[in-house]
Structure 1
Amino acid sequence: MDRLEGVGRWLATDAPQGTIEDLLAAFCQEIVRRGLPVWRASLGLEVLHPEVSGWQHVWIDESVSFRESARATAATSPSYLNSPTRIVDETARPFRRRLDAPCPDLPLLEELRLSGATDYAMYPLPFLDQTRTAVIAFATQRPDGFDPTALEGLELAARLLGPYLERHVLRRIAIDLLDTYVGPRTGQRIIEGRVDRGAAELIQAAIWFTDLRGFTHLSERAPIPDVLADLNVWFGIVGDVVEAHGGEVLKFIGDAVLAIFPVSAGQTRTDACRNALAAAQDFCRRIDHENDARRPLDPLAFGLALHFGEVAYGNVGAPRRLDFTVIGPAVNRASRLQDLAKRLGHRVLISRAVASEVDQPLTDLGRYDLRDIVHPEQVFTLP
C-alpha cells in the first residue's frame, strides 16, 4: 500500500538495530508517521533458555516496556491460555477482534477495551523457525477501529519487520545456549570465533574440583527420577555459589564439577584464590542447610579441592565435537587433591598455592603424596 512505500528501505538503512526495544519504538513511530492508527503495539517472542520462556515488549506512549515469562509456568498460565497469542500459535493465522463489546474470554482485550482501545489485531511473524511463538499485535483507539486498508498495512508491516526481529532472537538464543551449556566466559570466546581445535591460551586460575560422595551407591538403589532430582539440587548449589563469587562452572562430569576462578584484568591471583575460598565456605554452609532440610533422607556428602596454577584454556576434541575446557598439571593436581579429601575424611582440601594467598587461618594437615604427582603437596583445610 502507498502509505508503507519505503518502509523496507527505512528498515534496511535507517532503523536502529542495536536492541529490540529501540527497533520496535522506531518502527512504531515510523508507521504512525505514515498514517497507520496504532495506539499500542506488542511483541511476543519465544526464546530458548532453561528459565525464561519468552519476552514481551509493549510500545505505548512513545516508550517500550519489557517483561520475561518464566519457562516453568508459561505454557500453562491463564495469561497465555486465555490470550490471542495462544490462538495465533495454534492456528498460525492472524487474529482480529473489534473491541465494541466486553471480552470475558480474553482478559487482555477487556483490559485494553477499558483503556479506550476499539480494535485489536495480531499477526504471526514470518520467522524461518516456525516452532516457537513469534507474534506482533496492534491496537487502536480510533472510534471506527482499523479499516481494511489499515489491516492490510499492518500485516505488511509485520512481514517487513519480521526478519530484523528474527536476527535478534536467533542471536539471543545462541548466546543463551552457550551460556547455559559452557558458561558465559567460554560462550563469549566461542561467539568471538575461537573454535579451532587445539587452540588454547594459557591463563592462571584458582581451580575448583568437587564431587558427590556415595553417588554410585545412591544411583544403584534409588529410582532414576530421585537420582536426577538430587543431582540437580547438588549442581544447582555448586553453580550458585561459584557464580556468586566470580567463578565459572566449566563442566559437569558425572557427579563431579570442574570450575575456575580466573585471573583477569580486574582480578589478581590473590583475588582469585580468596574468591574460590569464600565460595567453598559458602558452599559448605549451603550444603549444611540443604541437608537439614532434606532429613530423613541421606545427606549430600562431598569432597572439594582448591588449587591454583597455570592452565591451558581452549578447544580439545574431535574435528566435529569439541570441548572448551582447561587442561594441565594444575588441573591434575586439583583432581588428585579431591581424591585425597575422600581418603582423609575432610570435605575441603586446599593446596599451598591457594593457602599462601588468603588472609585467614587454615588448618595445616601436613604433606601428602598425590597419585601420579612427583612432588608431595602441603595440604590445608578449613578450621
Structure 2
Amino acid sequence: MPALDTAAVAGQRLGDDVVDWLTNGTRDERFIDNIFAQMCIRLQNAGIPLKRASLHVQINHPQWLGARILWSNGMQGADIARVDYDVRERSEFIGSPGNEIYDGAEEIRENLVRDPKLGRQHAIYDEMRAQGLTDYVAWPMYHTLGKRHFVTFATDRHGGFDQAHIDALQRLLPVLALVSEIRIKNRLARTLLETYVGPHAAELVLAGATRRGSGTTVRAAIMICDLRDFTRISDNWPRDDVIDLLNGYFDAMAEPVTQHGGEILKFIGDGLLAIFPLSTPGACANLLHAVTDARKAMAALNARNGESGRAPLRYGIGVHVGDVMYGNIGSRSRLDFTVIGPAVNMASRLEALTKQLGRPVLLSREFAELVEGEFALEHVGRHSVRGFNDPIELIAYEG
C-alpha cells in the first residue's frame, strides 16, 4: 500500500487539534469572520494545503440577505462582503456553486486544472484558475431546523486535495456549524434590535436593561415629524403604492437623522420620533443639519413622484429640547424602549402647529437659543399650544 505524503498524514491528525480549538478555544471570540480566518491558518499549519476558503451565510438583514466571508493565503483576517436580496437573479449567482448548494447539492467538487470545457462553466471557476488554484470543494453547512449555509475550500497543490485532506475538512463541518450558528444568531439578535429599537437602545437592552420601568433621564433635542393627508392617501391609493410612498418618505426623513448622529426611536403610522442627546457635542446643530438634508431629500422624492403623476407629499416637523425619561415602558410581557415627558409633548404640539401656521418646520424658543447665529431662523410670534397655559414663542426654520 503506497505511503501517504506528509500533508496527507498531517491531514489525518488535524481533526482532533482543530476540532478541539473550535470547541474550546473560541469561547471569547465574538465574530465568526475572525474564527474562520484563524481556522484556515490552523488548517495550513496542520499540513492541509489550503489557499482559499469562504463561508456563505444568510442573516436576513433588512437591507441584505447575507454575507460572504472570504479568506485567502497570507491573510490574518477575512474580508466580508454583503449579499443583496436580489443575488439569486444575478449572473454571478446563477449556475454558481452556491446556486447548486441551495438547490440541494450535498457536495460540489471541481478539478480546476482540466480543460474548462469539460467542467462546470462559471466565472468563479475561471477566477480561481487564474489564481493558480487546482481543486475546489463546497459543502452545505446546516444550522438549526435545516437552514442551509455553505463553506468552500480550494488549494493550489499539484493533484488537488488528497482524500485525507477532504476527510479532515469534512470532520470540521459539524463543529464549524455549531460555532458559526451561535455567532450568527448573536449578530442577528443585535441586528434585529438595532433595526426595531435603534442602535443605542439595542446596546442598553443587550446590556440587560430589560426590566419594565428601568430607564434614565436624558437631556435631548427632540424631533417629531408627521406626514400630511395620510388618511386620505391611504383610503384612496392601492395598498402597495401606500407602502412604497411611506418607505420613500421615511428614507428621506430617517437617513439624514442617523447620518447626523440622531436616534430614531419609533415610526408611528406616518410619524417619526427621534432624539439627539445633548451629551453629544453639537447635537442641536446636528438636528437642524438633518432637517436640512431631509427637506432636500423630500424635494427630490416629490420631484420623482411628480413624474409619475403623484401629488407632492407635505409634512410637518416640530423640534424642542428638554429632559426626557428614556427607558422601558409597557405591559409585563410587552415593552417599548422610548422617551416620554413634557418635552416630547411640546415637540408633538409644535408639529401639529405646522399645519395651522403653514410652516413645515417649527422650533421652540428653548431650542432656537442653542443654535441662534448658526442658522437662519425666523421668529413667528407667540401662539397658544394645547396643554400649555401660556402662549409659546415659535421660530420657523426653512432649511
User: Structure 1 pair 165/297, CA: closer, same or farther in 2 (3 Å)?
Assistant: same
Q: Offset at 1:101? A: 3.0
Q: Offset at 1:18? A: 4.5
Aligned to 2:300: 289
Q: Secondary structure at the match of 2:159?
A: coil
Distance between the aligned counterparts of 1:55 and 1:117, measured in 2? 23
Q: Offset at 1:129? A: 5.0
Distance between the aligned counterparts of 2:301 and 2:101, measured in 1? 44
Aligned to 2:136: 120
Q: Indicate conservation of the 8 Å contact 1:55/1:66, yes or no.
A: no
Question: Which stretch shows the higher mean deviation, 97-106 or 323-332?
Answer: 97-106
Aligned to 1:369: 384
Matched, 1:61 2:77: no
Aligned to 1:331: 344
Q: What count of residue pairs does the alignment treat as equivalent?
A: 378
Aligned to 1:183: 198
Q: Offset at 1:339? A: 0.9
User: Structure 1 pair 77/129, CA: closer, same or farther in 2 (3 Å)?
Assistant: farther
Matched, 1:213 2:228: yes
Q: Offset at 1:278? A: 2.1
Aligned to 2:4: none
Distance between the aligned counterparts of 1:292 and 1:253, measured in 2? 25
Q: CA RMSD in A?
A: 1.9
Q: Deviations over 1:109-140 (max 9, x none)?
A: 23223432222111222322533x42111112
Matched, 1:130 2:130: no
Distance between the aligned counterparts of 1:126 and 1:6, measured in 2? 22
Counterparts in 2 of 1:1-383, with a 5 A limit?
A: 1-15=12-26, 17-63=29-75, 64-91=77-104, 93-99=106-112, 100-102=114-116, 103-128=119-144, 130-131=146-147, 133-264=148-279, 267-268=280-281, 271-295=282-306, 296-358=309-371, 359=373, 360-382=375-397
User: What amino acid is aligned across from residue 11 of structure 1 in structure 2?
Assistant: L
Distance between the aligned counterparts of 1:240 and 1:321, measured in 2? 28
Distance between the aligned counterparts of 2:44 and 2:297, measured in 1? 54
Q: Secondary structure at the match of 1:91?
A: coil
Distance between the aligned counterparts of 2:32 and 2:236, measured in 1? 50
Q: Indicate conservation of the 8 Å contact 1:4/1:34, yes or no.
A: no
Q: Secondary structure at the match of 1:137?
A: strand
Q: Where in structure 2 are there 5+ consecutive unaligned residues?
A: 1-11
User: What amino acid is aligned across from residue 74 of structure 1 in structure 2?
Assistant: V
Q: Where in structure 1 are there 5+ consecutive unaligned residues?
A: none
Q: Indicate conservation of the 8 Å contact 1:306/1:334, yes or no.
A: yes
Q: Deviations over 1:161-199 (max 9, x none)?
A: 222222221121111111111111111111111111111
Give identity over the alignment, percent: 35
Q: Offset at 1:155? A: 0.5
Q: Offset at 1:12? A: 3.7
Distance between the aligned counterparts of 2:51 and 2:65, measured in 1? 27
Q: Calculate the TM-score normalised by the size of structure 2.
A: 0.89
